[in-house]
A and B are shown apart, each in its own frame.
Chain A
Amino acid sequence: MLKKFNRVLLKSNALRSVGSIIYDWRLAFEVIKRSPLTMTGLIIVVGFIVLGAIGPYIAPYNPIEIDFSSIALKRLQPPSLQHPFGTDEYGRDLFSRVLAGARVSLMVSMAVMSIAIPVGLVLGLVAGYYGGVIDEIIMRVTDVFLSFPGLVLAIAFSATLGAGLFSAMLALSIVWWPSYVRVVRAQVLVVREQLFIEAAKAMGVSTRRILFKHILPNSITPLLVLVTLDFGSVILASSALSFIGLGAQPPTPEWGRLVADGRKWFPDKWWYSFFPGLAILITVLGFNILGDGLRDILDPRFRRRLEFREVK
């Protein structure tokens, strides 16, 4: 194990001179395997993604349809073998609804990230690389967005666009891009001064190619940690939106919405609010543990400590 690790380290040290992120990821995987906490985070995250993808198909009951013939008999049942998370006031199985909720959360977080990351990336690259007036304009606008507490701005947008899952996604995307601009720009400012960029310029490589082929791959590492952490934050924020009545509307089985619905029956029917909230906690915890672990791994100071230990 140790030998293998050292080999990867040596190999990746060679790669490192190219300044490639492959180095970080090779090493990262080797280190993740040795850190039980980070591994736990990875397992939770992978589990969440898998459940989000196949959840509705493996759910034991239909998460949305109401069986009117047996409502009186099945409503608000406590957890049992048949219904591990109990049932809601319409007799639906909460386990199935929580499973289906994984897909909703996965969908929202993916949608928000797939808008916020490209926007933040492009604006950050442009602002950092060109500087001057363009930089000034982009950063002032970014600052304005950042002078709102994120959730508050998302509430304002979401309320304007009308309650619903789609407007919540849009609202969260609008709120989320500015932090990426900051991070990418700061990284670009460092990278663009390096010799290989100058060399590329001297060779007459086009600006677009320099931006996307040379600067982008070298600026992306800190973003990866942030994105991992933010996946969790988006899930948390979207569930908060749904909890206060924006975001997902019934009968969509969204976790925050389920907690809000269950409050009506609290504390007698505690399982109704408890399990959906627990699902949020575990999922977000998974992303945070993984992100936290990745940060340690990608942090040069930590890496030095690790390499030092190996040499000893």
Chain B
Amino acid sequence: MIRRALTFIPTIVGVLILTFVISHVIPADPARLWAGGVKARPEIIELMREKYHLNLPIHEQLVLYIRDVFTGNWRESPMTKRPVLVDLAEYFPATAELAIVAGLIQIALGIPLGLLAALKRDTPVDHLIRVLALIGVSAPAFWLAIALQWIFYYSLGLLPATSRGIPPSQTYTGLYIFDSLLTGDWNALVINLRHIALPSLTLAFTGLGIIARVVRNTTLDVLSSEFMDFAEARGLSGAKFYRHVVKNSSIPIVTIAGLEFGMLLSGAIVIETVFSWPGIGLYAVNAINSLDYPAIMGSTLLISLIFIAVNFIVDIAYAIIDPRVRL
């Protein structure tokens, strides 16, 4: 496992080099960009140049940049006048909560739907799930978000359309739902669940169909394989029979779930603005609109590091599921 963890180091270094290239090499004048673009005052630009060693040769800048990332110096946001890392720490739990809830919805609905489609193959149910999958990947998430707000808030008045709800009396993790459970604050729990319903459903819908399709196809593959014939010949039935199906179809499902998590993070950026959900997405979009460059790059870096971490967990999951995979 440690060996597997070590192979992630080049990836992380690669990611850092790429973000370095984006922020230091591509812009004609990085200092100006970081200070806020065309409107930036010359003395501030000069200050930036001094502070972030932009006068040094490029390879020395790279080394300093990587050191800064690891020591927590993610530059300062001109928009909030605070270190980017402090901002991100404040906004991150909301995005994490949204992505986790959406991911759970995807798994809780996607796997049963996929199994249903596989067992009822080539029936209307199967076709319906296929169409659902296609619409999910084709619908722009931001438009879907607006449509759901229209239906559930403006027309039916069932669910709140914006913001995150109320923080429970005590916060441990910053995940409101989890914290309200911990503190036993049921009132807050209900309010927060109602607030997360629309954003998480929107986010979940985009990948729900894909998961269902993958579950369907792998289940069909497994069911038609020779070892399943053998299991049947051995007289296995019921739970024992299906244990083989579940075990053998879990690898592709875990793979797609890991990939989908990246999609959830991308999707969150776009829909958080629609729902005024105070997460990294909202932060990043505000940063884009106020030309707050350090904040944009900080958000990018954080999201990709999380994505790498998720992929790492997926790799470990492979080894747990399938003893043939060596870490």
Contacts and interface: CB of A to CB of B under 8 A. Distances in A.
B284 A143 contact: no
B10 A232 contact: no
A133 B273 CA distance: 45
Contacts of B154: 267
Interface string A226-243: 000000100010011001
A5 to B, nearest CB: 21
B14 A152 contact: no
Contact of A149 (B18, B274, B307): B307
A147 B11 contact: yes
B74 interface: no
Contact of B304 (A147, A246, A273, A285): A147
B288 A246 contact: yes
Interface stretch (B45-53, B185-193, B292-300): B292-300
Contacts of A39: none
Contacts of B142: 240, 243, 256, 259-260, 277
Contact of A259 (B14, B140, B299): B140
B262 interface: yes
B201 to A, nearest CB: 17
B270 A243 contact: yes
A123 to B, nearest CB: 16
A160 interface: yes
Given A143-B11, A147-B311, A149-B263, A281 B139 contact: yes
Contacts of A236: 138, 140
A278 B150 CA distance: 15
A280 B140 contact: yes
Given A144-B17, A256-B140, A244 B288 contact: yes
A187 interface: no
Interface in B113-129: none
Given A141-B14, A236-B140, A156 B22 contact: yes
Nearest to A237: B266
Nearest to A156: B300
B143 A273 contact: yes
Contacts of A156: 19, 22, 296-297, 300
Interface residues of A, number: 46
B266 A149 contact: yes
Contact of A160 (B10, B23, B273, B285): B23
A190 B14 CA distance: 28
Contacts of B321: none
Contact of B285 (A151, A245, A280): A245
Contact of B140 (A277, A287, A289): A277
Nearest to B264: A149
Contacts of A143: 11, 14
A143 to B, nearest CB: 6
Contacts of B311: 147
Nearest to B16: A144
Interface string B307-322: 1100100000000000
B266 A150 contact: yes
B14 A140 contact: yes
Interface string A243-262: 11110000000001001100
Nearest to B284: A155
A292 B134 contact: yes
A151 B266 contact: yes
B96 to A, nearest CB: 15
A61 interface: no
A25 interface: no
B135 interface: yes
Contact of B296 (A145, A159, A289): A159
B262 A149 contact: yes
Contact of A270 (B10, B130, B150, B296): B150
Contacts of A267: 149-150, 154
Contacts of B296: 155-156, 159
A306 interface: no
3 tightest A-B CB contacts, nearest first: A277-B143, A144-B14, A151-B266
Given A152-B303, A159-B293, 18 more contacts: A140-B14, A147-B11, A147-B304, A147-B311, A148-B15, A151-B270, A155-B284, A160-B33, A244-B269, A245-B285, A266-B146, A270-B150, A273-B143, A280-B139, A280-B143, A281-B140, A288-B138, A292-B130
29 contacts: A144-B11, A144-B14, A147-B304, A147-B311, A149-B262, A149-B265, A149-B304, A151-B266, A152-B300, A155-B288, A156-B22, A156-B297, A236-B140, A240-B141, A243-B140, A243-B142, A244-B288, A245-B288, A246-B288, A256-B140, A259-B143, A263-B274, A267-B149, A274-B147, A277-B146, A280-B140, A280-B143, A281-B138, A284-B140
